[in-house]
Amino acid sequence: MERRFGARNTDRLNPALPALAAGDTVPFYPGMPMTVAIADPPHALVLWLVSSANKAIDPTRPWPREHVAWSWAFVLDPVDASTTRLLTRIRVTYRHTARWAAYVHLLLEPAHFVTGRRQLLGLQERAKVASRTVC
Q: How confident is the model over 26-60, as pLDDT tens digits?
A: 888 787 889 999 999 989 999 999 888 878 888 78
Per-residue pLDDT, 91: 86
- Count of the separate structural domains present in the chain: 1
Per-residue pLDDT, 103: 74
What pTM did the predictor assign? Answer: 0.76
Domain that holds residue 119: 3-134
* Alpha carbon distance, N-terminus to C-terminus of the chain: 35
CA distance 93 to 105: 10
Phi-psi region of 54 (alpha: psi -120 to 50; beta: other; left: phi over 0): left
- Verify cis geometry, omega within 30 degrees of 0, for the bond prior to 30: no
pLDDT band at 101 (very low <50, low <70, confident <90, very high): low
Identify which of 83, 3, 81, 74 has the alpha carbon closest to the alpha carbon of residue 36. 74
